Structure 1
């Protein structure tokens, strides 16, 4: 009875304990374990999708964009989800998608269609809004506009993974920080974006400004391509270097092997031949071991040196020191180089930067090769004096010539002008860096004078300009493979300094195995002239116009022209207007022929060309160009003879 009487109390107590347990559990869940349960709920309802960071923009020295990351769209279609197949087909065709893919995308027997290629979001906005079309945003790295720039800047895989070039060297700065997009998951597991859920924005990479000038780069690439084709060469390189700052303005490279993708002006060394001679000569002058007017035996072009026959193309009984440079005498430079000890000769070349990488921002840059004296043979000293038994890259050689151009300072070449953080803050800015003083300003000035002579009656007359003086040196070197020189294979090269008295730029041209002419003065020197004439004509080619206006102008005397009396008519037919009968004027004296303008050339026709194409054609021909609004025309007209560097006005429709 007592148990039955206490049953309500027991039940009430049990219920109270249960309520307390529920309250306690609820308190634990909602108060003590609230964070844990919220996290579990969030994991079930929210999914995180990575947001790739846009790689930093790469610009040229003028600020023009060379490479950037753009948001593109990859399309996938689920045909069974599509409601308006006719509209889908129209929009897909409008986007340039092939009919075969359109047919598959509208076929309900097909479950899923991957549309190849990437599309701009604005071009497919209506398409991506349709049911059954599943867009996927993708960051695409826009490739550089030319082969030369692609070799410098490099490539990326899948728009974000660097493969080579500056993209690889500066990947830590360019790649940025990935973000995270938070998506909500519904009861069926489908994901959708919601503003109620916070994500983490991607942080773009740093922007990089190169020292390359896009206009000059384009000029160099076109000149190199034309030269390789005209000479039947296996390839070549052009380097344009700012002699005062060490900044690289253009790097053009071309190889017959399609697998070659590097900037070979930095990665492939070669034997420079006679272009190495000025550094031996400068050291001798600097240390008083030779004089400009000093004379050595020319051996009439053939010299037996300890059983080794040394020959010159320009044969003479004797040479002055200046003539050794002018005519690129092997016999002469070897005799002068014999005044150096092996250690001194090694140090001359080592101090010029050969045998060590320049330190520019480019992966896999070659240091070249310069063996220490302990590894030399009896022939090494003479070989080095002629530019053999040493390997240099085109950039190394251009940097060494910049020391002659700027008054004697060897500068570290630079490819990067500036780096900016995403917020615009400058985190790096290139400053001129002197590696060492290579020679005194006086010696550098003397060497520039000697190298002007190479273009004035010497081996590089093909590089002479009609308006400005240029100093430089040619080189013609045999090509070695498997430790043997290949018969008939040569490297033709020329290194120039412009303008000669106060150089702004150094230009190096190298052609590999040219077939038409093997000589640097015939094959490479004219390419330098082409580049310089186009650079002078172009407004955006990184030249100091004020300094050029003060530079000495060449006054080329017109060649004497005989009076061709026998070819001039004694009568002239004159027509007043179309359709009228001409009448004859009898002259007292025969007409004289028109004088020939030194350096004159025919103005090319640019009618029907775009502004850019017209500018390229005129720049390549060595003219300056000015565009004005008006009916299509050009002055002077096509075919007119005009002096190189003169202005051509082109009228285009506004």
Structure 2
């Protein structure tokens, strides 16, 4: 056997040494990775293998003060894909299937599928269950349906400026949704599992699921019924007065709780980027992205919190309160108005300068809204004293109401105030305030001088109904004395009874208030033909419960005066709200004689001729209506009637009469409607051929005729509803 040559041994030794060095290097490298950088690579491996899937928390409900749901979270479905689990060969097929079911562009979906940079990609939000089931039936690889929550506002654009809305990620971006987002949003859950490179779960991995914690529920001070009264009234006023905007706030005088806050036009928080006005919707389509954003933000802006305006003559109540408190004048102090007044070389006019008010008391000056008298009052009060009351009533700062974006007022700094500025501010010009500031101040005037902090949230409640936090009423300061408050209420009532606020008069209720008409400032100067009409009121004035502010921006109808445009709106809202709150009217003798009708027993007139029946009903102070489509002769015989003989009704009530020709209609048994909704009552009435006279909202509280009474088809039944 031949021995290896020296050269062969050298080569073997070289290879052995080289191999040994390589192995040593690998050992060192492996030791470096596993020992020195072991923790680092361990964490990197975990991050690659671990899939952390967020589980959205269910957003809390927003309730009105009586537990009515105003904003809820509805369970829905969201479509996700995992691009790494879908091969490029299957991408086109998957995209076409999804696009067909979801109504999307197939090429855009395919582009998302082929983009492997992301582990999960959301294809579409909030699809119905039937569409989700259709996708599941296709059994598409890498396509997942995840349960999600969508914010829903059951009443559409109702209270939209209060509630605000959320974005696609369920984060609040306006109103209560934004202000209380951290409470409403809850804490998201997590689903943690280990997967391989293809996204498949590892066989021996540990899976962890952390359930989401639902958000807290928010209970508002808003009363859904009073909010409905307010929105209905201002929507009608917007159309009648052809105004740019109409706003209103209703506040509980004693607590500062906001019972209603509304502005029209508004928007639907379910579709916050789609204007309700068709013209604005069309205009939006042609705008750039930045211009669209500006339009949306303008549409979402709460004008009662975020905007200022010149209050005009409604601000005279603040000046009057300061004058009375300082003892500068009494309600019976006399002043003279010649129609104009010269202040530092500038002539200021009363609105009725052409027919001056002449001699008048302070009370009459408020009734007449005489500017020249208030210029005199401002001079007597002095700048420092006047500003101290402006500050005390809260006009120099925000009210801290719990809504986002509240603005401060706009006014002169004290060193800038000269005789002319003081004069114009005394009657509500040269000062801009927010609506929430003004109604808070007027409430203080009526509330024995106590300024309350306005609030719109009552409490936070968990999912079991336990109160987590209650927001108590807060008195900010005592601004004026009880004596001054009492005098101011008497003056405010005289404005409605004898002065410019007569359109706000409600029989049986003592209403006090003040009208205002201010010329608008556009581009830094007063613009002719552009006005803001307003009315601020309190009721009942003898025991104040409700304060109301109504603002009509740029009315273009019959009048621009607050006494004609704004006061009737306030009357409508106050009258309905006071009756809803079961505040009983207190009629004067004159009102009682004019309005309260005596009870009358319905006489028996069946089998009488129409002629004789009319005579009997007229003598009983009752009206009548013959239920027939044909001409009825006086000789026709009455065969039935409603209400029945012996029923007790008020004078001038209408009795329905049925003659032989009209008596062929079927007789039906009156059903029991108690507890039923308006929709249910309508369906029952249509099925039985009955007609409805409805009052209130909610569920049926009472009905007439009573249940189980036989009545002819076509009878008008009276149904009273109450909130459920």
Give the TM-score category using the shorter length.
Answer: 0.7 to 0.9
- After superposition, the Cα gap between the structure-2 partners of 1:632 and 1:426, relative to the gap in structure 1 and judged at 3 Å, is same
SS in 1 for 2:377: helix
Find the counterpart in structure 2 of residue 267 from structure 1. Answer: 306
CA 1:180–1:304: 2 relative to 1, 3 Å: same
Which secondary structure does the structure 1 equivalent of 2:386 belong to? helix
2:488 — aligned with what? 447
**Consecutive unaligned residues in structure 2, runs of 5 or more:** 1-36, 115-120, 266-276, 281-294, 596-608, 615-625, 637-649, 655-676, 684-691
Question: Where does residue 30 of structure 1 map in the other structure?
Answer: none
Describe the SS at the equivalent of 1:503.
Answer: coil
Query: 1 CA distance for matches of 2:439 and 2:572?
Result: 18
Give the TM-score normalised by the residue count of structure 2. 0.67
SS of aligned partner of 2:208: coil
Partner of 1:54: 58
State whether residues 346 and 372 of structure 1, in contact with CA within 8 Å, keep that contact through their aligned partners in structure 2.
no
- What residue number does 1:131 align with? 139
2:518 corresponds to: 477
What per-residue deviation string (whole Å, max 9, x for no partner) do you get for residues 550-576 of structure 1? x6335526679xxxxxxxxxx994579
| Counterpart position of 1:238 | 248
Partner of 1:588: none
Distance 1:469 1:45, change over 3 A: same
Q: Using the alignment, how far apart are the partners of 1:448 and 1:217 within structure 2?
A: 25
Aligned partner of 1:534 in structure 2 is 576
SS state at 1:348 partner: helix
Distance 1:36-1:344 versus aligned 2 partners, 3 A rule: closer
* Separation in structure 1 between the aligned mates of residue 496 and residue 505 of structure 2, nearest angstrom: 6
Of the three residues 227, 234, 238, the one matched with 1:224 is 234
CA distance 1:167–1:100, change in 2 (3 Å): closer
Task: Please state if 1:175 is matched with 2:220.
Answer: no
SS of aligned partner of 1:281: helix
Find the counterpart in structure 1 of residue 326 from structure 2: 287
Q: Which residue of 1 is the match for residue 420 of structure 2?
A: 379
Distance in 2 between residues matched to 1:612 and 1:357, nearest whole Å: 47
Deviation string, structure 1 residues 308-354 (Cα, Å, up to 9, x no partner): 13123374221111101112111222222321111011112121111
The alignment status of 1:318 with 2:370, answered yes or no, reads: no
Deviation by residue 1:511-542 (Cα, 9 ceiling, x = unmatched)? 1011121111100000011112232454xxxx
Q: Please, which moves more after superposition, 428-437 or 258-267?
A: 258-267
Aligned counterparts, 1:85-484, within 5 A = 101=103, 118-121=126-129, 124-125=132-133, 128=136, 131-132=139-140, 134-143=144-153, 145-147=155-157, 149-183=159-193, 185=195, 189-190=199-200, 197-255=207-265, 259-299=298-338, 301-305=339-343, 306-313=345-352, 315-421=356-462, 426-484=467-525
Mapping of residues 495-506 of structure 1, within 5 Å? 495-506=536-547
Instruction: Tell me the alpha carbon deviations over residues 604-628 of structure 1, each in whole angstroms, 9 at most, x when there is no partner.
Output: xxxx9736999x996699xx98468
Q: Tell me by how many angstroms 1:114 deviates.
A: 9.2
Name the counterpart of 1:25: none
Shift of 1:130: 5.3
Q: What are the residue-to-residue correspondences of 1:597-608 with 2, within 5 Å?
A: none
Q: Where do 1:40-51 residues align within 5 Å?
A: 47-51=51-55
Instruction: Find the residue that maps to 1:278 and give its secondary structure.
Output: helix
Contact 1:58–1:209 (CA<8 Å) still a contact in 2? yes
- Larger mean CA deviation between 391-400 and 38-47 belongs to 38-47
Give the alignment's TM-score, normalised by structure 1: 0.74
Find the residue that maps to 2:178 and give its secondary structure. Answer: helix
Evaluate the alpha carbon distance shift between residue 633 and residue 102 of structure 1 in structure 2; reply closer, same or farther with a 3 A threshold. farther
1:99-146 CA deviation, whole Å, 9 max, x = no partner?
A: 8949989xx9x9999985523548855763552373133332224634
Q: Output the CA distance in 2 between the equivalents of 1:195 and 1:144.
A: 44
Instruction: Measure the CA separation in 2 of the matches of 1:134 and 1:504.
Output: 56
More off after superposition, 303-312 vs 202-211: 303-312
Q: 1:519 aligns with which of 554, 561, 567?
A: 561
Quick check: 1:649 aligned with 2:719? Answer: yes
User: Residues 489-523 of structure 1, C-alpha deviation per residue, up to 9 Å, x if partnerless?
Assistant: 11100011111111111010001011121111100
SS of residue matched to 1:610: helix
Higher RCO (C-alpha 8 Å, min separation 6): 1
Q: From the superposition, tell whether residues 611 and 469 of structure 1 become closer, same or farther in structure 2 (CA, over 3 Å).
A: farther
Counterparts of 2:563 and 2:572, CA distance in 1: 14
CA RMSD of aligned residues (A): 4.8
Deviation at 1:220, TM superposition (A): 1.1
CA contact (8 A) 1:534 1:620 kept: no
The C-alpha deviation readout for 1:366-405, integer Å capped at 9, x for no partner, is: 1112323311133112101110111111111110111122
What is the aligned length? 565
Runs of 5+ in structure 1 lacking a partner? 1-32, 561-570, 585-596, 602-607, 641-646
Question: Partner of 2:566: helix, strand, or coil?
Answer: helix
Residues 194 and 211 of structure 1: CA distance in aligned 2, closer, same or farther (over 3 Å): farther
The one-character-per-residue Cα deviations of 1:253-273 (angstroms, maximum 9, x if unpaired) are: 235876321221011111101
> 2:11 corresponds to which residue?
none
Q: Distance in 2 between matches of 1:340 and 1:598?
A: 55
Deviates more, 1:176-185 or 1:346-355: 176-185
Following superposition, the deviation at residue 363 of structure 1 comes to 1.9
- Secondary structure at the aligned position of 2:159 is classed as helix
